[in-house]
A and B are shown apart, each in its own frame.
Chain A
Amino acid sequence: MAISGFSDIETQATLKKELPRISGSEAVIRSFIAEGVDTIFGYPGGAIIPVYDALYDYRDKLNHILVRHEQCALHAAQGYARATGKTGVCIVTSGPGATNTVTGLADALLDSTPVVLISGQVGSKLLGTDAFQEINFLEITHSVTKWNCQVKRAEDIPEAIAKAFYIASTGRPGPVVVDITKDAQGGMLDFEYKPTRFIRSYLPYKEIDIDQINEAARLINLSRKPMALIGQGVILGGAEQELKEFLEKSGIPAASTLLGLSALPSDHPQYVGMLGMHGNYAPNIKNRDCDLIVAIGMRFDDRVTGDPSNFGINAKIIHFEIDPAEVNKVVYADVAVLGDVKKSLPLITEKISKSDHTAWLEEFHACYNIEREDIIEPAIERRGAHLRMGEVVDAVASQFDDAILVTDVGQQQMFASRYFRFKQTRSIITSGGLGTMGFGLPAAIGAKIGAPHREVCLFVGDGGLQMTLQELGTIFQSQVGVKIILMNNGYLGMVRQWQELFYDRRYSFTELTNPNFELIAKANQISYRCIERHDELDEAIAQMHATEGAFLLEVRLEREENVFPMVPAGQPVHDIRLE
């Protein structure tokens, strides 16, 4: 025993000798490569120079996209993550570089997007002295990250990064910050990378409770008027096929949340539309008639539930959810199936009997026909003096078959998600939870870089575009071929709509006097065209489609168009208004 024990130690010692001795900065880069990272979005600065210096030698392995503002590094990483399913990676410097990322982190937290952010920090001896560009970034980001940590020694870098990737991408994904002091970046270590596979205080996947599966199956088999609500959890879990099998065996009509769009193709016979404040008429109005709601990987956001006490008022609720903290948070679940939907859906599909809800599904179709006549056809028809958002989205969707839709926030977001059509999963990237104006342009950049072979169509308003307008520079420098459809109505349209409907048309500071977008596009060498007539629409979109690289299509719209249907905030969803 003693001898073999001795030889063990010896082997370990020999192994240790073979470990490469490298700097903390290089360890950051090599840890990324070990995690399969190929793209980084970032912005250099004083406290992160050592990492950028190490990156210089790895330019052939890592594609670094230089954004124009750190907030956009995060949004681009989000776009990348949502288009690819991989974890987005960002590098920024300390102080202002770090604080600029807060909006992006918050957006990623609310929309469950896996992102790892490396922030530089002043040297450990300077911590707490209010040194140049020092800010307590851990404290600032506690509320906007899934996890964060500070590394003050080079030898702790690989483990911190391994934990960061594990935490960001498992369970309910989210943003993670690793704050690395400048002396840790400069220090030396014997580099060895071991991916994290277990953390005792973090168990991301719950064992699926078979009793709950049985109870859920019993309720589904008994139900005569069930409705499934699909959330982003299906996409995050990669459970699109499992969802389809469940729906096709159960025959249940399925609606989608904003972030759940594209998990099920838009033309699936059981798909009945989008939920929410500006969602489709049928899934909102039928909410009251349901006797069972099967919520799959969604969290009952208030934009989906309206008044939660009236949500599914005649229905039992089954909640398939990975995050225990979401169960009973907003809406009480009669049955909660905790765990990854990729595992739980097949178990339920096996237990339920083959069923057909044709008559019930017909009721949804009847409601859809009302909406089509009253809302959809008038919205997409080429009529009236001016172009309108619905017809523009519809026309773009017709020519850009199977593109990734990226939106900003506001009216164009709602029109785009209502009238775009989805064929494959991971085809919508939008800021749902935080509702971040300015998200669209950088997210579209990230999406195009992550999915270079797919078309990326960004719908953005004149307000939202100007919030992160500087990213046109990123598009120019990195030659990112996004198609930007600028929905220009000269207003912050969604707020203006609310002012019209609920504040007596008092348009307080929602009117924009805009710059010349053509000059801005040209300055960034981005192809540009402006249209304002119905007869220009198809041809302009065809031109955009045929153009290699980025394109900015400015569409001058009817100025005071409203998005309908609409559930007034805080009202029951069955009080949805068609006008």
Chain B
Amino acid sequence: MAGFLIKRFLQAVFVIVAVTLVVSFAIRLTGDPALMLAQGAGSITEDDLARIREALGVNKPFFVQYADFFIGIFTLDFGRSFLGGTPVIDLIKSALPATLMLAFASMFVSIVVSIPLGIKAAVSRGKWADQFIRIISLVGLSFPNFWLAIMLVLLFSITFQLLPPSGMDGFASFLMPALTMGIILTATNVRLVRTSMLETMQSQYIMVARAKGLSETTVLYKHALRNCAIPLITYFGLQFGGLLGGIVVVERVFNWPGLGTLAFDAVGGRDYPVLQAVITVLSLLIVGVNLLVDIAYGLIDPRIRTE
């Protein structure tokens, strides 16, 4: 176990170095933050720009800047935002919970809906219920999330005036963003649960369970669902990573004060420290979730644990 964890830790470090290195380098190719800061200020001279660059620290060689950033990760010191000088860690501290809560809420919506629907579709394979669920999930899969978001706002905020169209203030504000993300995830997950269930249902131990005279509910939820949980957990885990990527669009439409909004603004404003920090946190999360998935395997399936 210790060896496994050390190996995974080194992998995580490698992933984070690779990702942040590429992002830090690429963003620096796209424009001068000093000019960004100064262009609204009217007349600027090359001296003014040099002065601002020095204050921002972007006059140092790239690898020095990168090394400063990387060492900072270990003390959670991500520097200061170029825009206004707020310590980046303060921005992350308020944005990370917002994003995580939205991500969990979306996963929750998706899991709660997709598992029963997937099982139903698998059980009634080929019948109208199965067809119906499959068509609905295909439709769900085809929605672009920004479009879905705008339609939800139109319906629930403007026509019926039931839900707040944007911002994060209270339970009601979670519903539309979580639903937007959740519906799209659900569409994929229903199909996955269905396929996985169908495979499991054909195995011999299900036949044994039925032969023992167990009720269909026990067979389904105790024997079948547990066994098909492994591919599902892998997939949900990976999905969580994808979810964090896709959240940028949804956060923007719903003006959600999370990491996506932070990243979007940071790219637009060439705010290197903020962007680097967001990317680091996101990579850490994705690497972390993947690690958890691996550990979870062991808990679910003792065979993997002994290997």
A and B held together in a complex: no
- A residues with CB within 8 A of B: none
- B residues with CB within 8 A of A: none
